[in-house]
Chain A
């Protein structure tokens, strides 16, 4: 297997950072995924009690306990989470803040969010209504704006090649990964920090997603609520967190002796143009994203051994995605291990693509696919091989795809391979599993 880039520039992943419902960093998150642990729990806050949905996957480690007090109070929760993950990813890549080995003019950032600074927006409005305009925070706009996280992280790390915020609902952070790939391939940057963040566990999204009938109402069994492809699935579970990846050219990575986790070999976009919130049940749009990702990487379906599915645990979505995977990969689907890690993490919305890309590339790195938990009775006739236990991947060069689909119709698939990857670091993710 040999992927090829249209521009001749190979892009590799050299740094990982995460703060998720399973842990405050990458090793604890990966260990949680391998252990099949659910990050979903009952919300005990008073505001949650009247709601029809009282479960969510909140982050395991509060970002305010990690960041300094003054910096934290100038960030929406969204940006607090993004900052924690970005700093871990940058350090994991072996880099220091404003590292002299990184040319700021060749360093870009793309950090996605689906909703943005919701807490700041609503809290500021409450202050204005109750106490008047003189009492609103002058920091409110730079905290709540969609590109607050990208701007804040870009400022802190000194990125001058371009700092971007793709917004595509639940496909947002796969767009940011794809944008980082493009940025480097087009020669606009040699290194990029990409990923996504979301911190909107708040009564408004819980009430409105519930009103759409999109959320699981399994309040009596929170850990069992997110159950992709199980016949009794009844919706997704709202999660929060942030995940970041450091991307760079193979040459840039090798020149500084960086550890290489994986190659980001391709990305594919499509749009359903079918409905604002429902996927096209024929799977035309979704399968096109996979097909385009394969073509972009110069690979075929036979190279793919693993798909981390969008798999949100909704009745329609999970079935449509299974159809779309088979539509795109054909008979080769039989040798593809598919998993749905949202069964453990809940749905991070704008952070979902980055979290599941992390799971995808670590699955390649460790040749181990996390299980989809809570599948008691699998939906019949899916036509895909769902991993309901932890599964091993074969030796050799492998390709894996992460799917993310969003309201508005967006479909984005990103494709990783283990070409150029170094052996797993003994002190890194996996040894705690």
Chain B
């Protein structure tokens, strides 16, 4: 079972790959749109990459609640539990 930090680090890699944000900036308290400047289409790409990487499903109605990196990590942990 991956730790919260391992999930965050993997997510940070995805955000860096998709949106060019430095992986070090992808911390739990950061908002994707307000702090990391991730646009809506990039967010869709990130969600799809998360589904592939963590073998989870993120329905569209859940995706829009993932405002911060912490929200996403918590969702992934719950979905894999």
Contacts and interface: CB of A to CB of B under 8 A. Distances in A.
A134 B48 contact: yes
B41 A139 contact: yes
A135 B47 CA distance: 10
Contact of B45 (A68, A69, A139): A139
A70 B19 contact: yes
B20 A69 contact: yes
Interface string B1-41: 00000000000000000111000000000000000000001
Interface in B37-69: 41, 44-45, 48, 51
Nearest to B51: A134
Interface string A325-341: 00000000000000000
Contacts of B18: 70
B54 to A, nearest CB: 15
Interface in A263-315: none
A138 interface: yes
A68 B20 contact: yes
A137 B42 CA distance: 9
| B contact patch SS | helix
A138 B44 contact: yes
Contact of B20 (A70, A137, A139, A142): A70
A138 B42 CA distance: 8
A68 B48 CA distance: 23
A58 to B, nearest CB: 27
Contacts of A134: 48, 51
Nearest to B57: A134
A157 B48 CA distance: 31
Given A68-B20, A70-B19, A70-B20, A135 B48 contact: yes
Contacts of A68: 20
A392 to B, nearest CB: 50
Contacts of A139: 41, 45
Interface in A124-152: 134-135, 137-139, 142
A138 B19 contact: no
A137 B45 CA distance: 7
A69 B48 CA distance: 20
A333 B19 CA distance: 56
Contacts of B45: 137-139
Interface string A46-69: 000000000000000000000011
Contacts of A138: 41, 44-45
B16 to A, nearest CB: 9
**Most chain-B CB neighbours within 10 Å: which of A68, A137, A142?**
A137
Most B Cβ at <10 Å: residue of A71, A138, A142 = A138
A142 B44 CA distance: 14
Nearest to B21: A70
Interface string A311-325: 000000000000000
Nearest to B45: A138
A108 B20 CA distance: 29
A135 to B, nearest CB: 6
A100 to B, nearest CB: 24
A142 B45 CA distance: 14
Contacts of B20: 68-71
Contacts of B48: 134-135
A364 B18 CA distance: 46
Contacts of A70: 18-20
Interface of B: 18-20, 41, 44-45, 48, 51
Given A69-B20, A70-B19, A134-B48, 13 more contacts: A68-B20, A70-B18, A70-B20, A71-B20, A134-B51, A135-B48, A137-B45, A138-B41, A138-B44, A138-B45, A139-B41, A139-B45, A142-B41
6 contacts: A69-B20, A134-B51, A135-B48, A138-B41, A138-B45, A142-B41
Q: What are the 9 closest A-B residue pairs judged by CB atoms, nearest first? A: A70-B20, A138-B44, A138-B41, A139-B41, A138-B45, A135-B48, A70-B19, A134-B48, A137-B45
